[in-house]
Amino acid sequence: MIEETLTMIPGPTPVHPKVLTALAKPTVSHVAPAFVEEFKGALNDFRSLCKTTTGQPFIVAGAGTLSMEMAVVNLVAPGEKLLVLSHGYFGDRFLDLAGSFGIQCDVLRADWGKAVPAADLAKALAENTYAAVTVTHVDTSTGTLAPVAQYAEVMKGRPEMFILDGVCATAGVDERFDEWGLDVLLTAAQKAIGAPPGLALVVFSERAIERRKARASVPAYYSDIMRWLPIMLDPGKYYSTPCVNEIMAFAEALRIVHREGLEARFARHGKIAQAVRAGLEAMGMALFTDAGNRADTLSVIMLPAGVEDMAFRKAMGAHGIVVAGGLGPIAGKAFRLGHMGNIGAGEVVSVLVAIEATLGALGITVKPGAAVAAAAPLLP
């Protein structure tokens, strides 16, 4: 559509008109009975999205970084140690965050584009004492999908808190809170869930809540889950004014997720990822992430030799499509394409056509139509 932009970055993702309509409803009192019902519904739907029956969800105004902070600050005391499994920029963010609270960290860092083997986690746990382990399910900088089910086998029956960052995964990639024995699943609204940014979303296990309760206090006020727990058990209560419209939009986004069905939604993300990659490869483009651990929610793609990053993204923008640049060691060398949330075949085809035209304009020869021809049979 003229004057419309297709935002194909790894979050925020395009927001469905039904969700935008919920956002645009008149703002009501945070204790209005109809809003309290919406809030309760969002808590329930978020809990089932995370595949837990006993986990306690928290919905708080903020974003993914606040949910990271809520996980760490409530479960790891200053002076205790945290083990960070890092697959890139957002894994490393846990080090920064923990350091701000005087929490010591060890890090198992994979080469960019590769995953930390589960055996390395087992070895680190055997050699040291940690209060908690953090894993980034999909690192948005490298496109790496962590082998969480394998880590879960290692963590089974262990005392360390198991914290999973699902910001770039939840609702696009399967996450099994109860089956994996997670203690915290933290996420945000603006990626595969398909709501606008503005929420910190966290689920705590029963034993994680007990761990927090065992501490007299934590070095936090807004991120202290004990202050939020009464509100999550009865959303008619007040601690800090909830973002009424954003929660109504989130509730609507969750209804879309559950109407599609979780397994169907994950399968659609898988098909879209396969189609996007077949299209890119048909244009001779190379993916950055190792083939064995590519996430279905985004692709990290090397820019062909001679194609300058800003020129590429500007030309894509002229076709109405926004993609993201590379981060860290691949800044200027790669671009990141989000393909998660409520997108379908139409968006994939538009992006591939725009990439083909952009490459052509920048002097790279591409067989016309090859990308769409390769992608089309794989599309949902």
Shortest separation between residue 241's beta carbon and ligand PMP, angstroms: 20
Residue type at position 128: N
CB of 165 to ligand PMP, least distance (A): 5
Asked whether the beta carbons of 268 and 73 are under 8 A apart, the reply is: no
CA 373 to chain centroid: 30
Give the amino acid at 188.
A
The 3-state DSSP class for residue 185 equals strand
- In the bound state with ligand PMP, the residue whose beta carbon lies nearer, of 50 and 352, is 50
Q: List, as one string, the DSSP characters of 97-156.
A: HHHHTT-EEEEEEPPTTS---HHHHHHHHHHS--SEEEEESEETTTTEEP-HHHHHHHHT
Q: Closest approach of Cβ 72 to ligand PMP, in Å? A: 12
| 39 exposure class (CB count in 10 Å sphere: 0-12, 13-18, 19+) | buried
Contact segment (CB under 6 A) with ligand PMP among 45-53, 162-170, 176-184, 321-329 equals: 162-170
Q: Which two tokens stand for residue 332?
A: 């200027």
CB 157, min distance to ligand PMP, A: 27
Give dist(CA 374, CA 378) in Å, integer.
8
- The answer to whether the CB of 28 falls within 8 A of the CB of 357 is no
Nearer to ligand PMP, 65 or 104 (CB): 65
Q: Please report whether residue 297 would count as binding ligand PMP according to CB under 6 A.
A: no
Shortest distance (Å) from residue 92 CB to ligand PMP:
11
- Of the candidate residues 56, 136, 342, 358, the single one contacting ligand PMP (CB under 6 A): 136
The residue at minimum Cβ distance from ligand PMP is 64
- Of these, 135, 168, 201, 275, which contacts ligand PMP (CB under 6 A)? 168
Q: Which of 299, 304, 303, 252 is CA-nearest to residue 275? A: 299
Site for ligand PMP, residues 41 to 100, rule: CB under 6 A: 63-65, 68, 90
Residue 240 CB, nearest approach to ligand PMP (Å): 18
Segments of the chain assigned E as strands: 6-7, 56-61, 81-86, 104-109, 132-136, 138-139, 144-145, 161-165, 184-188, 199-204, 298-302, 321-322, 324-325, 334-338
Is the Cβ of residue 22 or residue 324 nearer to ligand PMP in the bound state? 324
Does residue 261 contact residue 137 with C-beta atoms inside 8 Å?
A: no
Contact string (CB under 6 A) for ligand PMP, positions 169-188, x = contact? -------------------x
To ligand PMP, the closest distance from the beta carbon of 299 in angstroms equals 14
Question: Toward ligand PMP, which CB reaches closer, 93 or 268?
Answer: 93
Asked if 300 is part of the footprint of ligand PMP (rule: CB under 6 A), the reply reads: no
Select the residue interacting with ligand PMP from 8, 9, 11, 268 (CB under 6 A). Answer: 11
Q: Is 163 in the site for ligand PMP (CB under 6 A)?
A: no
Decide: is 140 part of the binding site for ligand PMP (CB under 6 A).
yes
Residue 142 binds ligand PMP, judged by CB under 6 A: no
Residue 134 touching ligand PMP (CB under 6 A): no
List residues near ligand PMP by CB under 6 A: 11, 63-65, 68, 90, 136, 139-140, 165, 167-168, 188
